[in-house]
Chains A and B, each alone.
Chain A
Amino acid sequence: GENVEQHPSTLSVQEGDSAVIKCTYSDSASNYFPWYKQELGKRPQLIIDIRSNVGEKKDQRIAVTLNKTAKHFSLHITETQPEDSAVYFCAASSGGGKLIFGQGTELSVKP
């Protein structure tokens, strides 16, 4: 079955710097890759997603890139702000409803 590996597990940046979180997946049939943000004590919420027919997608300060050949995808956050501090999860699905998450990255943005 699908396996999603996420790195790093923790990431600390200064406010205004960029943050990059990377994920790899095992199932070459995976075609949907969302990213979720979970603030402390709250439920996860979708921040951006991408399908396998697209190499990059941007939404304001966040972007996701996908390399199907290498089976990895990344989340890029530019001009980080303290409110970006949270746990970020990548996920992958090959269809049929089964969505598998990575282990999560705890991002800390220091003012």
Chain B
Amino acid sequence: NAGVTQTPKFRILKIGQSMTLQCTQDMNHNYMYWYRQDPGMGLKLIYYSVGAGITDKGEVPNGYNVSRSTTEDFPLRLELAAPSQTSVYFCASSYGEGTGGKGELFFGEGSRLTVL
């Protein structure tokens, strides 16, 4: 199992450009998430999905869009990139909710995005 795979690992964008961060998981997880982590800060939830065809806004959704057409894939689109979107982006997935590991989020390695 590859787990959660994110691409690209690094990207530099110019202000106003658009791009898509790709995320795929091979664990047949229903739940998928996108978080951003600014330097020295916590993880802020951008969007999440509890299954194919279902997406919901998190804490900081402005400037981003997502889709979930398959169980495996959960791409994050940045439209009109701004310097405030400079961050490390983490995709994660889980079976669902509950203790004993059932609610455990499995994170990708992260994608470092810089907007200049």
Contact = CB atoms under 8 A, between A and B. Distances in A.
Interface in B28-46: 31, 33, 35, 41-45
Interface stretch (B16-24, B79-87, B97-105): B97-105
Interface string B29-72: 00101010000011111001110000010110000000000000
Contacts of B109: 43
Contacts of A46: 101, 104-105
Size bin of chain A's contact surface: 20 to 34
Nearest to B51: A97
Contacts of B97: 32, 93, 95, 97
A3 to B, nearest CB: 9
B45 A100 contact: yes
A103 B42 contact: yes
Contacts of B75: none
Nearest to B104: A46
A44 B90 contact: yes
Q: Give the 5 A-B CB pairs with smallest separation, nearest first.
A: A43-B107, A103-B42, A101-B43, A97-B50, A46-B104
29 contacts: A32-B97, A32-B98, A34-B104, A36-B105, A43-B90, A43-B109, A44-B43, A44-B107, A45-B107, A46-B101, A46-B104, A46-B105, A49-B99, A49-B103, A51-B99, A57-B99, A89-B43, A97-B31, A97-B33, A97-B48, A97-B97, A99-B45, A101-B42, A101-B44, A101-B45, A102-B42, A103-B41, A104-B42, A104-B43
Interface of A: 1, 6, 32, 34, 36, 43-46, 49-51, 54, 57, 89, 93, 95-104
Given A34-B103, A43-B107, A101-B45, 18 more contacts: A1-B59, A32-B99, A32-B103, A43-B108, A44-B43, A44-B107, A46-B104, A50-B99, A96-B50, A96-B56, A97-B31, A97-B33, A97-B48, A97-B49, A98-B45, A99-B33, A101-B42, A103-B42
